[in-house]
Amino acid sequence: MALIKARHTWMEWLDGNASMVRVFSFDFSKAFDTVAHEILCNKLKKLPISPYITNWIINFLTNTYQRVVVDGVKTEYLPINRGVPQGTVLGPILFSIMINDIRPVQASNLIVKFADDINLGIKVTDDSDASYMETNNIINWAETNRMKLNYKKTWEMVIRGKITRPLPAPLPMIVRKSWLKILGVTFQENPSMWDMHLDELMSKACSRMYIIRICKYYGFSWKELDLLFHSLILSIIVFSIEVWGCASYSKYLSQVDQLLKRAYKYGYLMYQVSIVDILNNKDRDLWEKTTTDPNHALQVLLPPSRQLELRNRGHDYELPRVRTEMFKRVFVNRCLFNF
Considering 188, 203, 219, which residue would you say is the last residue of a domain?
188
The model's pTM is 0.89
The DSSP string of 202-219 is HHHHHHHHHHHHHHHHTT
Determine the 3-state secondary structure of 54 from DSSP: helix
Considering 188, 213, 233, which residue would you say is the last residue of a domain?
188
The DSSP string of 83-149 is ---TTSSHHHHHHHHHTTT---SSTTSEEEEETTEEEEEEEEBTTB--HHHHHHHHHHHHHHTT--B
**Domain match, 183 and 205 both:** no
**Domain match, 24 and 153 both:** yes
**Domain match, 198 and 304 both:** yes
Residue 314 in domain: yes
**Domain match, 328 and 306 both:** yes
**Domain match, 84 and 133 both:** no
Considering 188, 204, 237, which residue would you say is the last residue of a domain?
188
Residue 102 in domain: no
Using CA atoms, how far residue 130 sits from 120, 123, 186, 235, 298, in Å, is 11, 8, 24, 39, 26
Provide the domain limits for residue 9. Answer: 1-28+108-188
CA 163/CA 18 separation, integer angstroms:
11
Q: Given this model, what pLDDT does residue 307 score?
A: 66
Residue 101 in domain: no
**Domain match, 121 and 251 both:** no
**Domain match, 113 and 177 both:** yes
Q: Given this model, what pLDDT does residue 315 score?
A: 77
**Domain match, 6 and 38 both:** no
**Domain match, 238 and 127 both:** no
Residues of the chain with confidence (pLDDT) below 50: none
Residue 103 in domain: no
Domain count, the chain: 3
Q: Given this model, what pLDDT does residue 62 score?
A: 83
Residue 277 in domain: yes
The CB density around residue 312, as the number of other CB atoms within 10 Å, is 5
Q: What is the CA angle 161-167-171, rounded to 5? A: 125
Judged on CB neighbours under 10 Å (0-12, 13-18, 19+), 64 is middle
**Domain match, 62 and 147 both:** no
19-31 b/e with 16+ CB inside 10 Å = b? bbbbbbbbebeeb
Residue 312 in domain: yes
**Domain match, 150 and 236 both:** no
Say if residues 212 and 232 touch (Cβ distance below 8 Å).
Answer: yes
Helix (H) or strand (E) holding 20: strand 20-26
The CB density around residue 84, as the number of other CB atoms within 10 Å, is 22
pLDDT digits (tens, 9 = 90+) for 4-40: 999 999 999 999 989 999 999 999 999 889 999 999 9
Residue 214 in domain: yes
Q: Given this model, what pLDDT does residue 68 score?
A: 93
Q: Alpha carbon 122 to chain centroid distance?
A: 17
117: which strand partners? 114
**Domain match, 209 and 320 both:** yes
Say if residues 169 and 36 touch (Cβ distance below 8 Å).
Answer: no
CA 178/CA 187 separation, integer angstroms:
9
Q: Given this model, what pLDDT does residue 338 score?
A: 86
